[in-house]
Structure 1
Amino acid sequence: MLWACIVLPQLALDAVLRRHPEASAPLALVGGPAQLRTLQAVNAAAAAAGLQAGMRLTAALALLPEFEKVDYDPQAPERWQRFLAAWAYRHSSLVSAQWPGCIVLEVRASFRLFGPWPVLQARLRDELQALGFQHRIALAPTPRAAQVLAGLRDGMALHDAAHLGDTLDRVPVRRARLPDDAGQRLQRMGITHLAQLRALPRDGLRRRFGLPLLEHLDRLYGQADDPLSWYAPPDHFDARVELGHEVENHTALLFPLRRLIGDLCTFLSIRDGGVQRFTLRLEHEEGHTDVEVGLLAAERDATLLFELTRNRLERCEVPRPVVAVRLLARHLPAFVPASRDLFDTRNQQQLPWPQLRERLRARLGDAAVYRVGPAGDPRPERAWQRLDGDRVVIASAPGRPPRPCWLLPQPVPLQDRPVRIVSGPERLESGWWDGHEARRDYYVLETSQGQQAWAFAAPGQQQDWMLHGWFA
């Protein structure tokens, strides 16, 4: 096996920066009790101004009076680590988020699908960059070795297990992620590298440092299996973005909405599924407003879902300022991609019918777009029925003479004179049981302008034509 370790050095800060359209202004995460507020993390602009993690808030304000302060959420790193574990699951079936601040995944089995390690590594980096997370990546024959090498130098790759021992022997003990404070204690004792540590008697190390140190070394060098807890993706999506200030218009919600939709589509691709209904929840200081988004078929295209949600959001009235946005999707059906021909002649600007249909529903309303199916009633105005959704099977229409593509809502007198009878009559007698009896003789007529009309007259007559439709 080959293991890739992705170290996330500023997970909590990246989780905040990715919801800001412009992250060039100084920003810091602030935590701790009210009397002892300290900076937990700072972005590049704040660091350039002299701010650093661990600094007291009062000292930071004296150094830089104006910078954005965001409350530090202790649960955010773990929550976003689980999200990135779900993202990594699309590249490997063995993913672990057991160690804080990093993701470990087995990649040798993925080479046949994604290509050799340089190609897969570039893919991982591009996707992490698009998601907005800083990272360091290393490759090694054991998970712990990959974690240690990622902390030493970004991009290190060790494919051969035969060279693992020589490489690790040169690692400083303070950088080897030894349990507790063993690295610092060994450094003070004059043991600087792992080669010196491995040369010491194991019994003495166990008495002085405990069994976890020896277990760590054995698993680091591949002399013992490393029992990791494997990630399993959840069966629903729930993500929330705090805005940090009150928002009263739809435009300011579009950037966090785009991030949430992108995260949803990443989650859907992991499950190899789609979404047919989800809820955009606009949270206020008191209460919330829900924007329901429903589709006729499961989709997972980020551009389409964002466009649909934006249209629904623009039609929604926001009664109070919004302080947070939450996206919930609990029903995630299977996704079946639309079939395409090998030599597709569709224009680049032309939308596929499913996407066009959903955009029309979002703009015009759910009731404005629907399917039409045949009904058993022979009366033309009652010979069709409305069908909602894609799962309803359309039955075969009864055999009848040709019908016009354009049927008028109500028959109107045909004013054109003279007309030529093309075909007919077709006798229709129905409706006696519901009080709307119809006795008509239908004809296909050609008007003086060459149009083909569908009209009827009283049984046995060929005058006082009533126009009911036009043929194309």
Structure 2
Amino acid sequence: MLGIWAALRPQRSTRESCTPIDLQSLAIWALQYSPRVAVLEEAVLIEVGASARLFGGLAQLRLRIEAEGTALGVEAVAWAPSATAALALMRAGLSDGFAGPLPSLLDKLPLETITAVASHQGTLQRLGCRTLGDVRKLPRGGLSRRFDKELLARLDQAYGLRPEVYEWVQLPETFSARLEFQYRVEHAPALMYGARRLLMQMSSWLAARHMGVTAFTLRWAHDAMRGKTAGTGGELTVGTAEPTQSVEHLSRLLNEHLAKVELLAPAGDIELLACQTIPIQQESKSLLPETIRQGEATWLVLERVQARIGKDDVVRPLLWADHRPEWMQRWPGAQEPLPRATPGVYELPLPDWVLDEPLRLAERGNRPIYQGPLVLLLGPDRVEGGWWHRVGDGAEEDQCNVQRDYWIAQSEHAGRLWIFQRRLANDETGWFLHGRYT
């Protein structure tokens, strides 16, 4: 299934002062952006298509993930419509799988970018294959007989032709993370270099759990060559006045406390634990006042909104007992009394989306066409009524009276559709698209 996938690979070298972040810690960090996070081979995969709008759009989310990932120790990030494609592009040193058609981008990649293909690299090279595109040109029947099923499956998944199934990373109930230094730290303030990375991981864990921390503990372990009186290590617990997720605030607070600490021996590694957390009230994106979530009556809120933007601009949806879809909803003013009614019972399930105006469909052999021939699945469900409805002049009165046979139809490209055939003797007959199922 195509989406918006990112593949992130942590640093593998040890040139920096701290050990590289491990895959599990990186995956927990990624959970703040999406629940669809998996660990595959040397990378963390994250699908953000459903959550991009929550972070200001895909462009802003990509910048944020790449910037924060770099600070955590991520050395390569690649984006693509499928997870396998993102992983392959990352291995090839490319980053944008949306720069062009996915097949044309993947066809140029070498065989080793997909593990299932790389395991047969010797045989494939003897067949003249040097790229993924060369492998795709081989007869599928021969590939399936000569190689294992994994090769074709992973190729299809990379190109978006077969769904991908992963075991999603689960968010732990408590947070603790450890980091080892590549050198021995002799002064407590110098611990902040590694502690900030752990604070970023804790902040992401808090964001994913919608929690704020009110107390956390930093522990450090002394070097093995310590003196006998130094002990195995020490710890520092920091409390906050308010629950927070802010890395900057927590870093400043921890730095102030570390400035007063004197290490009894050089430290080799540190550990951060979230001691006390409580649910945090997130900023509301709603247009309605916050008081409505605190139990205030809806009519009181509507009165204030009317005073702000005008009485005519505040309406409310109400169901009305009418078989015609156009008249099943009424939108009276917020203060206009109108009894709530139950609409008529339909034989077919109603669609998720209804067009403002039915769309006339083309026909071939008296059969409806919409992005190809339509297959009628269920129906007909006859809807009649409206002769009693009087709106405007005579022309509009005729439009209120309907007699339609509704069907659920299947389109090869558009999915399930809600269509009807108009059957009034004194009106134009034909097929119309009125809704769509998601």
Give TM-score scaled by structure 1 length: 0.52
Quick one: which amino acid aligns to residue 269 of structure 1?
A
Distance 1:316 1:96, change over 3 A: same
Task: Tell me the distance in 2 between the aligned counterparts of 1:299 and 1:7.
Answer: 27
Q: Corresponding residue for 2:305?
A: none
Q: Corresponding residue for 2:78?
A: 137
Q: How does 1:358-377 map to 2 (within 5 A)?
A: none
Q: Corresponding residue for 1:96?
A: 38
Quick one: which amino acid aligns to residue 125 of structure 2?
Q
Distance 1:110 1:185, change over 3 A: same
Task: Tell me the distance in 2 between the aligned counterparts of 1:259 and 1:325.
Answer: 11
| SS of alignment partner, residue 215 of structure 1 | helix
| Residue correspondences, number | 276
Task: Tell me the distance in 2 between the aligned counterparts of 1:131 and 1:117.
Answer: 21
Q: Is the 8 A contact 2:213 2:245 kept in 1?
A: yes
Q: 1:316 Cα shift?
A: 4.3
Q: How does 1:1-40 map to 2 (within 5 A)?
A: 1-8=2-9, 11-13=11-13, 17=16, 19=18
Distance 1:325 1:193, change over 3 A: closer
Distance 1:205 1:83, change over 3 A: same
Paired-residue identity, %: 29
| SS of alignment partner, residue 190 of structure 1 | coil
Q: Is the 8 A contact 2:30 2:204 kept in 1?
A: no
Distance 1:313 1:12, change over 3 A: same
| SS of alignment partner, residue 6 of structure 1 | strand
| SS of alignment partner, residue 7 of structure 2 | strand
Match for 1:303 among 241, 245, 248? 248
Q: Corresponding residue for 1:288?
A: 233
Q: 1:229 Cα shift?
A: 1.2
Q: Corresponding residue for 1:413?
A: none
Q: Corresponding residue for 2:65?
A: 124
Distance 1:13 1:273, change over 3 A: farther
| SS of alignment partner, residue 255 of structure 2 | helix
| SS of alignment partner, residue 116 of structure 2 | coil
Matching of residue 149 in structure 1 with residue 89 in structure 2: yes
Could you tell me which runs of 5 or more consecutive residues in structure 1 were left unpaired when the two chains were aligned: 20-75, 340-472
Matching of residue 200 in structure 1 with residue 155 in structure 2: no
| SS of alignment partner, residue 93 of structure 1 | coil
Q: Is the 8 A contact 2:220 2:233 kept in 1?
A: yes
Match for 2:188 among 250, 254, 268? 250
Q: 1:216 Cα shift?
A: 1.6
Task: Tell me the distance in 2 between the aligned counterparts of 1:128 and 1:207.
Answer: 42
Q: Is the 8 A contact 1:5 1:102 kept in 2?
A: no
Q: Corresponding residue for 2:110?
A: 172
Task: Tell me the distance in 2 between the aligned counterparts of 1:249 and 1:291.
Answer: 14
| SS of alignment partner, residue 2 of structure 1 | coil
Distance 1:195 1:236, change over 3 A: same
Quick one: which amino acid aligns to residue 7 of structure 2?
I
| SS of alignment partner, residue 264 of structure 1 | helix
| SS of alignment partner, residue 165 of structure 2 | coil
Give TM-score scaled by structure 2 length: 0.55
Q: 1:314 Cα shift?
A: 4.1
Quick one: which amino acid aligns to residue 90 of structure 2?
A
Distance 1:338 1:243, change over 3 A: same
Q: Corresponding residue for 2:359?
A: none
Q: Is the 8 A contact 1:241 1:256 kept in 2?
A: yes
Match for 1:220 among 158, 163, 166? 158
Distance 1:260 1:183, change over 3 A: same
Q: Is the 8 A contact 2:31 2:204 kept in 1?
A: no
Q: State the Cα RMSD in Å.
A: 3.1
Q: Is the 8 A contact 1:275 1:298 kept in 2?
A: yes
Distance 1:159 1:117, change over 3 A: farther
Task: Tell me the distance in 2 between the aligned counterparts of 1:164 and 1:288.
Answer: 53
Q: Is the 8 A contact 1:236 1:332 kept in 2?
A: no
Q: 1:301 Cα shift?
A: 2.4
Q: 1:203 Cα shift?
A: 4.2
Q: Corresponding residue for 1:320?
A: 265
Deviations 1:371-409, CA, capped at 9 Å, x for gaps: xxxxxxxxxxxxxxxxxxxxxxxxxxxxxxxxxxxxxxx
Q: Corresponding residue for 1:67?
A: none
